[in-house]
Amino acid sequence: MTELFGTDGIRGEVNQGNLKPEKILSISRALASYLAQKSKRKVVLIGHDGRLSGSYLANLAAAGVQSVGLKAARLGLCSTPSLAFLTRLRATAGGVMISASHNPFYDNGIKPFGEHGSKFTVEQEEEVETLLETSDFTLARREKVGPSENVQGWLSEYVEALSNRSVFYPGRILVDCANGGASRLVREVFEDNCNALITVNDSPDGVNINKDCGSLNVEKLKDEVLEQDVDIGFALDGDADRLLAVDEKGEVVNGDALMYMLAVDRASRQELEGLIITVMSNLGLRNSLSSAGVDYQVVGVGDRQVYQRLRDQGWNLGGEQSGHIIDRDWMPTGDGLHTLAAVLEILARGDKKLHEWNSEVPEYPQVLLNFEVIAKPPLSKLKESTEKIDKIETKLGDDGRVLVRYSGTEPLVRVMLEGKDEAELEAYAREIGETICAEINEISK
């Protein structure tokens, strides 16, 4: 992770820090210059999700692209996956998505993509930072200034491609669109691919994105599923790169259960090389995968790390407990709508209902607490905190684990514990978090 880019692009409050207008212009200029150096293509695709500031920041990003002589292809309101897909399909130099994913409306961010539709690597981000720091790019003059074009019609190509990969599901489904970038796309893809489709939170007004809805508020979807008498409910986040579900009994199906379902089904049809999961996945998933004979590997937090390991191993499926699932046979980043289509395809065969799949992944109690920090020194340098963590890990033994990491986008340290006793885990998590905060405060004086 670089200083400018977090674990998932640049993110923060609009008109503050790296999201001040002059900064956005400079960053997009550097991004476009980098893309121009790496590709002979002269088009950069730009899109935004349903935030009030989306078009405003997209305009600034387009201006930066045009200022160095490239064409700004403006996709408008869209999902992050649709932009990534079209970046590759339309053979552009790269893409810039204006989104802060699951954050509230007043935040926003920049997610850059290369010409093959994959997120930037750390090395690519470092090169962009160098360009930004040195201003090592030339502004276009006269007829060399880049043009701009509205290309929202391109979204129909994404809809068509995804529709062609979908099968008809003979049941009723409900989709919570999180008032985000996929609000219109959901109906275009799935209305003719199921017996009945109900969409909720599908009217973005600029400030309602992720507000009491979507994959971070999936408990509300449980009530909708039972009230609307549907077979299954799905919840996207603001830019639709992740998906969670609720089964026919009103129980939440998280990313671990969805990955298990997809991996076991593919393995049964000899279409799975192996599965990549992250350290955030529950111990229950690991045990279930082992019982099912599915080969898996574990990487650090972030879909980028998942993709890099998939690429290195030549495997095709991986993801996170949050519901961010990557199918390399589709494209090199997560796509909530594609995951939705894949789940419906399995269920349409009628072998098992979603609740049956969900029950095959027992979930160990898991506690995740966030603590605000004033600095982020390497955790390995915090001696007292390290000793505290080691002591608690010894107490938990083989029946639990501790994971501590800093947030990539916020001034937080995240403390996650798994084990058999939830009350005990919460007490241990507070001990660890308070120790870390106190030690950071002490060394920062």
In the set 26, 33, 67, 101, the catalytic residue is 101
> Would you state the pLDDT for residue 83?
98
34-to-31, 65, 95, 149, 308 alpha-carbon distances in Å: 5, 11, 12, 21, 21
pLDDT given for residue 359 in this prediction: 96
pLDDT of residue 345: 97
Q: How many residues does the chain have?
A: 445
Q: What does the pLDDT average to over 23-50?
A: 95
Residues 115-140: tens digit of each pLDDT: 999 999 989 999 999 998 888 778 88
Q: Residue 296 and residue 289: Cα distance in Å, rounded?
A: 8
- pLDDT, mean of residues 419-443: 94
What are the boundaries of each domain within the chain? 10-156, 165-359, 366-443
- Cβ proximity of 241 and 114 under 8 Å: no
Angle of CA points 147, 150, 155, to nearest 5°? 135
Distance CA 161, CA 414 (A): 38
CATH number of 366-443: 3.30.310.50
pLDDT band at residue 436 using 50, 70 and 90 as cut-offs: very high
Supply the pLDDT for residue 302: 86
Look over the chain and give the mean of its residue pLDDT values, rounded to a whole number: 94
Q: Is the pLDDT of residue 1 over 70?
A: no
Are 10-156 and 165-359 in the same CATH fold?
yes
Range of lowest pLDDT (53-62, 122-131, 330-339)? 122-131
The domain covering 10-156 belongs, at the CATH homologous superfamily level, to Alpha-D-Glucose-1,6-Bisphosphate, subunit A, domain 3 (3.40.120.10)
One-letter identity of residue 334: G
- pLDDT band of 88, cuts 50, 70, 90: very high
pLDDT band at 291 (very low <50, low <70, confident <90, very high): very high
Average pLDDT over residues 186-215: 96
Residues 33-61, mean pLDDT to the nearest whole number: 95
**What's the pLDDT at 355?**
97
- 203 as an active site residue: the answer is no
pLDDT tens by residue, 396-426: 987 789 999 998 778 999 999 999 899 999 9
Q: Could you tell me if 208 and 105 are in contact, meaning their C-beta atoms sit under 8 angstroms apart?
A: yes
DSSP 57-112: HHHHHHHHHHHTT-EEEEEEE--HHHHHHHHHHTT-SEEEEE--TTS-TTEEEEEE
pLDDT of residue 2: 67
Burial of 290 (0-12, 13-18, 19+ CB in 10 A): exposed
CB count in 10 Å sphere of residue 39:
17
CATH class, domain 165-359, is alpha beta
Q: Is 318 in contact with 275 (CB distance < 8 Å)?
A: yes
Residue 406: what pLDDT? 92
Residue owning tokens 């820090």: 17
Candidate from 77-81, 121-125, 332-336 with smallest mean pLDDT: 121-125
Specify the pLDDT at position 135: 82
> Closest Cα to residue 341, out of 131, 193, 444, 226?
193
pLDDT band for position 143 (cuts 50, 70, 90): very high
- So what's the pLDDT on residue 134? 87
Taking the C-alpha atoms of residue 239 and residue 65, their distance in angstroms, rounded to an integer, is 22
> Tell me, what DSSP letter sits at residue 19?
G
